[in-house]
Chains A and B, each alone.
Chain A
Amino acid sequence: MDGVRVDGVERIFRGRRSAEVVALRGMDLRAAPGEIVAVVGASGCGKSTLLELICGLQTPDAGSVAADPAVLMPQRDLLLPWASALDNAALALRVRGTSAAHAREQARPWFERFGLGGFENARPAALSGGMRQRVAFMRTLLAGKPVLALDEPFAALDALTRQEMQGWLAGALADEPRTVVLVTHDVEEAIVLGDRVVVMSPRPGRAVAELDVELSRPRHRTDAGVVALRERALEALGAVV
């Protein structure tokens, strides 16, 4: 099994009192090992459900999901407020039984690499939103899993920080290649970061268009190629809304 394969997946939520909600129906998705697939769609189209299926947090009601072990990076950083940045980054190692000293030793080099040298002992409350998200990304990487499921990782940041973090993430993934499924509602983010962009329909969500992003990196929002693809992606989104 390599990468991520989602075939004809259906996922239905049945509330006790509310009517059933079909989050996904006939959803297909492929991510080859080392590929970055960006999934865009309107709010509530089942993007987060898709990631939870890939991470094994949910099981499909129909169809199949086959994926290498995946780790989730949610929209909120979810750093533990009582733990230092270093301990937060090392959380994946700690919860698998690595000793504190050993886990810290393994996490420490990443701080220099990710431009957070000197902030190892800071509490999350003392870090900016972008820095916190970088710590959260380190925690995700240190889980040591081949697949990263990124759920709108920068949606909570202000526009400027978001752009900066997109550039940073592109660089980090170039250094440290993983299979990535990145969910976002920001079409430009999808094009700047993805090798491929999958456009989802509103609920019930399924893939309605796929765009290959054959642009050189690093990419910028204002590049002609990005702008042209953005039009195509928006068209695909518009056609289904």
Chain B
Amino acid sequence: MTRFGGLFAAAAIVLALFGAWELYADFGPVDPLLLPAPHDVAQTLNEDRALLWDNFTVTAGEVLLGILVAGVAGFASAIALHLSLTLRRSTYPLLVSSQTIPIPLIAPLLVVWLGFGIAPKLVIIGLVAFFPIVVTTLDALARVDPDTLKLLRTLDAPRLRVLRHVELPAALPGLFSGAKVAVAIAVIGAVLAEQAGSDAGLGHLVQQAIPQLETARAYAAVMILSAFAILLFGLLTLAERLLVPWAHNPPGGSNR
């Protein structure tokens, strides 16, 4: 299928889903207060735009900063783990176990400890986004062709120059893969963190909207969040194409 054919099919599927939702909400046996129709949600998106925007900027700021922190820390940690076998052996199990922490349970505890500000959000986003970035970057570092490393030894390359000239550029596509996974879960992490205790943000807004039966507003917030995650994913894909174009071409070291 061509690229535009794929986009067209995706748009058709989304439209069909919204159509089914609209029909069910309008004509099905369900109270519009409990399940608003898409046109209600669209109306709310328009009417509440100032409120939604203000809360969106809070959540977006948390997510962007969290991803940035996780990206920098993840890339640096992956390099450290790559360079030191001892460090890798001793901390990799810890890293994996960090992913077994149930975020909805730990989030309120972090709020108790760190307050209602941005700090607990960054910790939670960092916790969920750090792991995929470290794992994919570490894998990319480990996948550098062993023959290339042999060649570099015969070129008398010191360890850190091998890292700088060969391994770091080779790890960039891994960093992008990890960041693409991370953006989706970072948005979820931000919402969970906000629900555990905050006074702004879309997660906070949803939590307030539901008991007030402002379900259309809650759905509007959910749509904004998922559109934001898709946008971040798209931007990362674009950046990847521009910054590491070789990752999509036939690999440079291979036979033709």
Contact = CB atoms under 8 A, between A and B. Distances in A.
Interface in B205-256: 244, 246, 249-256
Interface string A20-51: 00000000000000000000000000000000
B249 A125 contact: yes
Contact of B154 (A70, A81, A123): A70
A95 B256 contact: no
A81 B251 contact: yes
Contacts, number: 82
A171 interface: no
Nearest to B148: A78
Interface string A65-79: 000001110101111
Interface string A58-99: 000000000000111010111111110000000110111100
B157 A95 contact: yes
Given A74-B147, A81-B249, A95 B158 contact: yes
B76 interface: no
B246 A55 contact: no
Interface stretch (B21-29, B98-106, B160-168, B190-198): B160-168
Given A57-B150, A78-B147, A81-B251, A129 B155 contact: no
Nearest to B156: A96
A80 B166 contact: yes
A52 interface: yes
B252 A81 contact: yes
B169 interface: yes
Contacts of B147: 74, 76, 78
Contacts of B143: none
A78 B253 contact: yes
B48 to A, nearest CB: 46
Contact of B155 (A76, A79, A96, A132): A96
Nearest to B247: A81
Band of interface residues on A:
20 to 34
B96 interface: no
Contacts of B161: 94-97
A156 interface: yes
Given A94-B165, A97-B161, A82 B246 contact: yes
A76 B253 contact: yes
B152 A76 contact: no
B62 to A, nearest CB: 33
Nearest to B150: A57
B145 interface: yes
A77 B253 contact: yes
B255 A156 contact: yes
Report which residue of B148, B166, B251, B252 has the largest number of chain A beta carbons within 10 angstroms of its beta carbon. Answer: B252
A227 B154 CA distance: 35
A106 interface: no
B153 interface: yes
A72 B255 contact: no
A143 B155 contact: yes
Contact of B244 (A82, A124, A132, A139): A82
B166 A71 contact: no
A78 B250 contact: no
Which of B148, B154, B161 has its CB near the most chain A CB atoms (within 10 A)?
B154
Interface of A: 52, 55-57, 70-72, 74, 76-83, 91-92, 94-97, 123-125, 128-129, 132, 139, 143, 145, 149, 156
Given A78-B145, A91-B165, A128-B256, 19 more contacts: A55-B153, A57-B153, A70-B154, A72-B151, A76-B255, A77-B253, A78-B253, A80-B169, A82-B252, A92-B155, A95-B156, A95-B158, A96-B156, A96-B157, A97-B161, A125-B249, A139-B155, A145-B154, A156-B256
